[in-house]
Every structure is written in C-alpha cells, then in structure tokens.
Structure 1
Amino acid sequence: MCWQKRDFFLSIILLFVAGNTGAKLAGGHEGSSGTKLELIHRHDLLRNPRNGVHPVPTFQRMKQMFHHDTIRYRALSSRPRMKHGGRISSARRQVQENTGYYQACTNGSGIRAGEMPMYSGADDGTGQYFVHLKVGTPPQKVTLIADTGSELTWTKCNYMCEGAQCGRNLRDRRVFRADDSSTFKTVPCSSSMCKIELANLFSLAQCPSPMDPCAYDYRYLDGSSTVGVFANETVTFSLTNGKKTRLENVLVGCSGSSRGQSFQAADGIIGLGYSNHSFAVKAAKEFGGKFSYCLVDHLSPKNVSSYLIFGSYHETDISPTELQYTELVLGVISPFYAVNMKGISIGGILLGIPNEVWNVNGVGGVIVDSGSSLTFLTQPAYQPVVDALKPSLSSFRTSNQDFAPLEYCFNSTGFDESLVPRLVFHFTDGARFEPPVKSYVIDAATGVKCLGFVNATWPGTSVLGNIMQQNHFWEFDIAKARLGFASSSCSS
C-alpha cells in the first residue's frame, strides 16, 4: 500500500525543512567548525544529461528564467505585510535567546561553522541555485533549491510505499526513501503542532486517526503542486574542521506526488526564509546565529562553485573588516529579508526617486532574494534608472528580439563595460552596494545584452535578485538583524 493513496492526502508542496521541535546538534566538535554547502546553478544541472534534461540554448534558458521570475514576483507582491516587529519576529527571538551559547562558542575557539556547495534552482517558478543535503539515517543525498523566500524545506519522498504504483510520479527522479531511515518520525495529525503550529505551512485539517501523519497541500501560482506529510528527521553536515555533525529533530516534508516545471532538475526546496520553521533559522541557531552565501556569475564554467555557509566564513576570501553592514528588516514582508534603502546613484549622481519607494513599513521597500534572478524596481525607481543608463548605450542598435519582461535590449557587438556609468545602491545607514556592470547590463543571448531591471507595479516591493548579487559575499546575521556584504571572487 502507498501512503499517497489514502483519501485524506491532497496535492501540495511539501517540505524538507528545519523544524519546530527544538532542533539540536548531536556529536562533539573541537575548535572552529561549520557547514559549507556547494551552490550549483540551475543551468548547470539542466545541462547535465544524467539529470534527464537535455541541454537548451542560452536564449531559451534565459526566457524560461525570466518567465519564472515574473510568476514569483506576482506571488511576492500578493503577500500581506506585517507591522515592523510583528509575530514572525519570534524567529529572531529564538535565535537571540541563545546569545549565551554563541558567546561560549566564540570565546577562544571561535564560532562553529558549516559550508554547503550551492547550485542553481527554482521555486514559485524560480530559484536559481541548488544545494546537496544529506537527510535521514543512514544519510541520503537530495538536491534542493536554495531560496531565501521560502519557509519550507521539502523533498520528493517515498513513505510506506510498496508495489508497482510506488512513487509513480517520481520514478524519473531521485527520491528520499523514508522507510529506509531509522530517524524518520511523522508528526501526528491530532497534535497541536499539526493543528496550530503548522497551520501557516498549509497543514490539512483531515485526521482520520489520531496517529495518522499530519498532511499538507500546497500549490504554486504557476500550477506546480506537491502533496505530503510532515515528519521529524536528522540532517547530516560535513563541518569545515573535517568532522561530521547531525542536526536532529528537524521538521521535514515528505512528498509522494509533485507536479510542474518549477522543480525541474531538483528534488525539493531548502527554505532559507525568515520563519520559525525555516531551515535557515533552525540551522543558524546552532551555527552562530547567521548564514551566508557567495554567488559566482550564473554563466560561469561548470567547474566554478558558489557556497552556502552556516557559521564561520574564515575559509572564504573575505575578512570581517571588509564587510559593510546594513539593517535587516525582519518579519514585515514575510518570509523575505528586507533592507532600508535610501536611493540609487548612477555616475555619482543620486537619482530623484521618491522616498516612499524605499519605505518598507509603508507600501514600498526592498528585499534581497536568492530565488529571483532579475532585479525588480517599482516604476518610480525603474524609470529614472533606465533613463540614466540608456544614453551610454545609445550607439548600439536596439534588439528586435523579445526578452520580456526586460524592456531595453541591444546588439552588444563592440560593447565595453567602461562605457557604462557605475550604479550604486545606498542604504539609510551609510552602507553602499556597488555591483559590477555585468550584473545590471546582462547577457540575454549570443550578441545581445539587456538592462537587467524589470518595471514593477507601484505601489509594491522592489527586489535585488541573484544576478545583481553575483560576485559578492552576503551574510544574513539573524541574531543581530543585520546584512553584511563585500565584493568577492567566491573562491574558498
């Protein structure tokens, strides 16, 4: 019998998440250590025939990426806002309550840290980087989309599954085999955790028997969907000191059915958003209250890697003195990480953009999002930026190819980045983010470049996407509510 055939399971997006039941680390470590996961760009996985996906031309891949971004932004713009310091701020409090623990770790031996390789992926229609994660006992490797806009961590999964119909929708993909894990424990549907704590993660009210698993049903705006059950599991990390450690009692979602293009080449999603249930908040509690990543150019050769790090970043090419910091506004545009922007300058001239465009506590604001490729600027910011950049590109013939939602594209023969004035994002506390020109004059196809900004509806939220974030190190310090960043080659 397959669990997914029971009548109380519907279609949803399940999670493989850092959970609600007091995640703790098992195993001892000495000295400075942490977790580093490699980030793999989605295009790299799509280029690999072993993933069951045939390579597609750059033009087509970029069009797919742009389409996914548009869908994701619609979902983002429809989210309700909370008053600054609202209910989700409890996630930050959970991290801050461990301040004594963090201080104990930093005295003498330094904060423990862990690193994970990071690759590109998709969620809500997008999410460009993937990580490999080891889940269960014994550990099984799954490939998950790394997304700072998702609360949930989930994977395609078989549970109580027998016979030819077992996981019929998943036969062409790697799946997590829950029945083979000695640490997989489902959350009872009769529990308060299922009925109350997981309600905002789409848990279902159906409960035929008190000990039946807590089920969830989730659909994305692009028509993708997945159905599954919540459980507690163990995640295994390789630490930067060469040892391994386990994060126990992690909330996971085990999905027996998943449909849609959003999850092509991935097994699920690792939720890095700001929420009590997100993997980022749970793992950060154990690794110094923060996580970080560094994104190489999404068009880099396949052997060039980015990394997702929980804890110390001492093995990167960044020193603490190089980081600039600005405030992270948590819990307002949930589960995204918002920042207080002051304005944008081009060629050293601050543009005339109304202050309300940047007011995160009003109807504007800016988020930093790893799951969006493009940078979305609401109309009062978009038009001044494009108008200031276009004169430097006026000698190039406008492209007649359709790269919607990008509006200004041109034949790039003879293009030289030195022709383009430098763009700088200014934060209210004085920090300045100056991306390389290739992050805002982007490659769209062979011989074609575009201004990498999307005209977003006003009022609304602006988004710093992952192309704009490339070749920079980003540290999300949840315990101190601050975002650190610095230019980096992303080498380690």
Structure 2
Amino acid sequence: MILLPLTHSISKTQFNTTHHLLKSTSTRSSNRFRHQHHHRKHQTQVSLPLSPGSDYTLSFNLGSNPPQLITLYMDTGSDLVWFPCSPFECILCEGKPQTTKPANITKQVHSVSCQSPACSSAHSTMSSSNLCAISRCPLDFIETSDCSNFSCPPFYYAYGDGSFVANLYRHTLSLSSLHLQNFTFGCAHTALAEPTGVAGFGRGILSLPAQLSTLSPHLGNRFSYCLVSHSFDGDRVRRPSPLILGRHDDTTTAGEAVEFVYTSMLSNPKHPYYYCVGLAGITVGKKMVPAPEILKRIDGKGNGGMVVDSGTTFTMLPESFYNAVVTEFDKRVGRVNKRASEVETKTGLGPCYYLNGLSQIPMMTLHFVGNNSGVVLPRKNYFYEFLDGSDGARKKSKVGCMMLMNGGDETELDGGPGATLGNYQQQGFEVVYDLGKERVGFAKKECALLWDSLNSVKN
C-alpha cells in the first residue's frame, strides 16, 4: 500500500463571495459534462478530461538530480499525466490558479518513440506508421519498423474551456517511497486557459494506475480515496484526504471491518477510459425515483451509464430525471420554505430555499445497479446551507441549495455518459476502484480519521 495526501484548496483571491464560488463551480461542472459529448469532432486528441474543477491535488517528485516537486489535479475522468514545462506560455490564464512551477526538462529525460503504444494512445486514433511519417521517419525505415529513434510528435489535448499542445517524455517519478522509472507523461510548453496539469487516474494505458500496475500490479489494480468534506468557506483549515494505492487493512478506528457497497463497472466502447457504473434510481425521502434506461447501461455507441468522476464537483443528471428528483424534493422542502430564485440565478444551483429554523430535509439515497447497492448520502453531500446577504439587507438570511445539477436534455447527450457522479457527492466515503474485479465500491468513513490511522501505521 502507498498512502498519499490529496489537498483541497480554494483560492481566496479568485472568489470573493460564496455566490461567486458556487457559480464558478457549477458552471465548470456543467461545462465538463457537456464537453464529454462533443469531443468526437477532434480526432487528434487524447481521451478527454475536462476543465479541472476538482480542486483535489496530488504531489510527486520528478527526477532525482535535483527532484522537482509537481502538484497536479487528481482526475479519474482522464487518462494522461501532464504538466507545464519550462519555457511555458499560457494564453488567457490571468487569475487562474497554477498549482506547480513549470518543470525543467533535463538531459536525463527521454523522449518517447513514434512507434510506441504510448504515442498511439496520446494521438487517439492515429496508427504508429502515420505518427512516424509525421515525425519525418523515412518510408523504408517505417516499413522495416526501424523508427525507434524518431520521437512521438506533439499532440493536442482539449478541455471544457481550454487546451494545450504537449510532447511525451519518460523520466523517474517518485510517489512517497515508490520510484517509477521510465514513467510516461505529457510536457506542455504552450496552453490556452490551462495553467495547471492533471494526474489522470482513468483506464487508459497512460494513466497513473495503469503505468503503476506494470511495475507493481498489487498497487495499480486497486486504488481508493476518501475525500474530506470541502466547504465553500475559504477560512476553513483543511485536512488531507487519503489517496490509497493498493489494498489496506479495512478496519475502522473501533476495529470493526467496514462493509463496502459494490457496483460493477460498465465497459464503454467509445470512452474506455471512464469508470462507468449503472444508476437504477434515487430515493428522495421514501419515494423511489427510477432512473431512465440510459443510466442503467451503455449502448454500442457509448451512450449511457454514470461516470464516477473525481474531477467534476457536482453530480450531473439528465434533465427529465433531474426534474423528477427536484419535484419530489420540492414536495417536502418547498411546502414550508420559500424558494430563493435569485440565489439560484447567482449560484447556478437549484432548487434553493430560504430556511425557517430547523428544516426537514428528506434523506437521499443513490441506488446503483446490482444487489443491495444503495448508498445513503449524508445531508451535507446534497444540500448546502449558507448565509445570504447579497441583496444589501442588514440581516442575512439562511438559505440552502440542492447540490445535484441538470445535465440537459438526454436526447442531446449523444455519444457520451448519461450522468456524472461528482466529488461533492463522494465526500465522506472511501471510494474504491477495484480494477481486478471491475467494480466500484463505497463505504462511509471519517476521512480525516482514516488518514490519521493509515498515516500512523505507515510511520
């Protein structure tokens, strides 16, 4: 087992009000979800992560002489590790957080051959022969498979609201006590609106777990994280969230084993890098709202299923299903609390309500496809309460918003996932990705205590 800290941070300079932060986060979640369905037009790019909205970062060292500390967003929705390299130019990046200094590429760094599977993976649909031709390898060399000295050409990679061009390199990457030699990563010298890199944890061959599994299968075939609850309060002291590579002794502080609720991963022919699961429905209070068929399975065109994504903040649901959940929620909450429609406009979330005293908020349970795979969400995972004083009134009002989002008309969601399970709804659970058994599991945990107990064992 390798234990690493995930750090969650909110830039105080970037967001001056709760409304501003919520609006930015909801917009980013929406952009990311919508972009999952439009990247087929760009056949030159890698499988698409989208705008990094996770704010959960992972650090490691690159090289050893001297080691360079690299800090990236941890993202299960993408399959490449990339970061800025010096010299680095980022267009339209003013005001965007940059987690890491551009890395210096030294003589110890090796380029990746145009013939390699890694090069083909980075260029998505292109064959190695095409890539070697682009790299100006002579035809007789291509025919005799003797182009190993010709480097993989630069590749283009797009996000929901930005893009970059990068080269593939290999170098030693150090995670805690583990040293991965010949680790393949993308090195970007130019970017548009993307100053921060991403540690892709998806299912492609360039992802961090996939490369780790070639060295240590027991570490790469299973990983989990437990996200410490993140509030939208910039003054909060933040505890590290444990990222666990490999299996750990699954006991609580009381010494009792915790039961995981498992659901099978669904394979997606068009997007093999996503961790997709089937969603059967959502219970609001005592009423089960069944999910549409598009969320229970994936068709031959890659449509459907729900992506479990550490890089999207809020859960996105198709419009008709979202509306059905909201209707049931509003029946219980809207009866006694007035709708705060202006807060909905300012935050991009809804429904929002002015809360009277101790409000009765109905329980919410996600039901995944499989036997007894219901996950009861803690109230704070789907209903956020804060003080609203934005209208200039002297007295601030207490408001609360439901934290699931409308992903749009399902008939327009062609060529991609039907829904996304965001990291906000994953808080307070250990979420395990068991690649050997192709399943995702959830167990309610005190994540800060899990970090403390695993860290004490490690030390």
TM-score (normalised: structure 2):
0.77
Aligned length: 391
Task: Give the C-alpha shift of residue 334 in structure 1.
Answer: 3.1
- Give the equivalent residue in structure 1 for 2:223: 291
Q: 2:123 aligns to what?
A: 199
**2:347 is aligned with 1:410:** no
Tell me: CA distance 1:232–1:58, structure 2 relative to 1, closer, same or farther (3 Å).
same
Within-5 A mapping of 1:201-280: 206-208=134-136, 211=149, 213-238=151-176, 244-260=177-193, 262-263=194-195, 266=196, 268-280=197-209
Q: Pick from 261, 266, 281: which aligns with 1:343?
A: 281
Superimposed CA distance per residue, residues 96-139 of structure 1 (whole angstroms, 9 cap, x where no aligned partner): xxxxxxxxxxxxxxxxxxxxxxxxxx942523311112122232
1:36 alignment partner in structure 2 = 3
Give, in whole Å, the separation in 1 of the partners of 2:151 and 2:167: 6
**Structure 1 CA distance, aligned partners of 2:250 and 2:369?**
31
Where 2:36 maps in the other structure, the secondary structure is helix
Query: Which residue of structure 2 lines up, in the alignment, with residue 101 of structure 1?
Result: none
The percent of aligned pairs where both chains have the same amino acid is 25
- Cα pair distance change 1:443/1:250, threshold 3 Å: farther
Change (3 A) 1:414 1:77: farther
Deviation at 1:60, TM superposition (A): 1.4
Q: Residue in 1 aligned with 2:84? A: 156
Q: What is the distance in 1 between the residues matched to 2:287 and 2:172? A: 52
Q: What does 1:86-485 align with in structure 2 at a 5 Å threshold? A: 123-138=50-65, 139-158=67-86, 166-167=87-88, 169=90, 174-179=101-106, 182=108, 184-189=109-114, 191-193=115-117, 196-200=120-124, 206-208=134-136, 211=149, 213-238=151-176, 244-260=177-193, 262-263=194-195, 266=196, 268-285=197-214, 286=216, 287-288=218-219, 289-299=221-231, 301-314=236-249, 317=252, 321-332=258-269, 333-361=271-299, 363-394=303-334, 395-399=336-340, 400-401=342-343, 402-403=345-346, 405-412=348-355, 414-416=357-359, 419-430=360-371, 431-443=373-385, 446=388, 447-456=398-407, 457-459=409-411, 460=413, 461-485=418-442
Change (3 A) 1:320 1:227: farther
Contact 2:202 2:274 in 1 (8 A): yes
Q: Using the alignment, how far apart are the partners of 1:56 and 1:213 within structure 2?
A: 46
1:402-425 CA deviation, whole Å, 9 max, x = no partner?
146423112245354xx1221111
Residue 71 of structure 1, aligned match among 12, 28, 31: 31
CA distance in 2, matches of 1:65, 1:316: 34
> Hey, what's the Cα distance between the residues in 1 that align with 2:308 and 2:17?
28
CA contact (8 A) 2:113 2:119 kept: no
Amino acid at match of 2:248: Y
Q: Which amino acid in the other structure matches residue 111 of structure 2?
A: T
Deviations 1:451-488 (A, max 9, x none): 11222221441111111111100000011101111001
Distance 1:232 1:168 in 2: 22
Other structure's SS at 1:151 match: coil
Cα deviation for residue 306 of structure 1 reads: 0.7
Are 1:330 and 1:481, in contact at CA under 8 Å, matched by a contact in 2? no
* 1:75 Cα offset (Å): 1.5
Q: Aligned partner of 2:85: which letter?
A: C
- CA offsets, 1:286-345, max 9 Å, x none? 234111111111217333221211113338748654212221123444321111222222
**8 Å contact from structure 1 (residues 317, 490) kept in 2:** no
Question: Which whole-Å deviations, capped at 9, do the CAs of 1:144-174 have from their partners, x for residues lacking one?
Answer: 011111111101112xxxxxxx445599861
Letter in 2 for 1:410: Y
CA contact (8 A) 2:225 2:242 kept: yes
Listed as ranges, the gaps of 5+ residues in structure 1 are: 1-33, 48-52, 81-121, 159-165, 239-243
Contact 1:356 1:364 in 2 (8 A): yes
Q: 1:473 to 1:378 in 2, by over 3 A?
A: same
Find the aligned partners of 1:67 and 1:325 in 2 and give their Cα distance.
Answer: 30
Name the counterpart of 1:57.
Answer: 17
Instruction: Supply the distance in 1 between the matched residues of 2:438 and 2:276 (Cα, whole angstroms).
Output: 10
Alpha-carbon distance change, 490 to 201 in structure 1, aligned in 2, over 3 angstroms? farther
Q: 1:429 to 1:410 in 2, by over 3 A?
A: same
Q: 1:41 and 1:429, CA in 2 relative to 1: closer, same or farther beyond 3 A?
A: same
Question: Highest relative contact order (Cα 8 Å, sep 6+), 1 or 2?
Answer: 1
Mapped contact 1:232–1:252 kept (Cα < 8 A):
yes
Query: What is the Cα deviation at residue 54 of structure 1?
Result: 5.2
- Measured in 2, the distance between the counterparts of 1:36 and 1:249 equals 22
Bigger shift: residues 337-346 or 307-316: 307-316
Decide whether the 8 Å contact of 2:3 with 2:244 is kept in 1: yes
Give me the whole-angstrom Cα distance separating, in 1, the residues matched to 2:325 and 2:119: 47
RMSD: 3.0
Cα deviations by residue, 1:2-51 (Å, 9 ceiling, x for unpaired): xxxxxxxxxxxxxxxxxxxxxxxxxxxxxxxx2222111241xx23xxxx
Change (3 A) 1:443 1:235: farther
The alpha-carbon deviation at position 360 of structure 1 amounts to: 2.4
**In 1, are the aligned partners of 2:312 and 2:423 still within 8 Å (CA)?**
yes
User: CA 1:390 to 1:197, structure 2 compared with 1: closer, same or farther past 3 Å?
Assistant: closer
Q: Report the 3-state secondary structure (helix = DSSP H, G, I; strand = E; otherwise coil) of the residue aligned with 1:72.
A: helix
Structure 2 unaligned regions, length at least 5? 41-48, 138-146, 389-397, 452-459
Aligned to 2:140: none
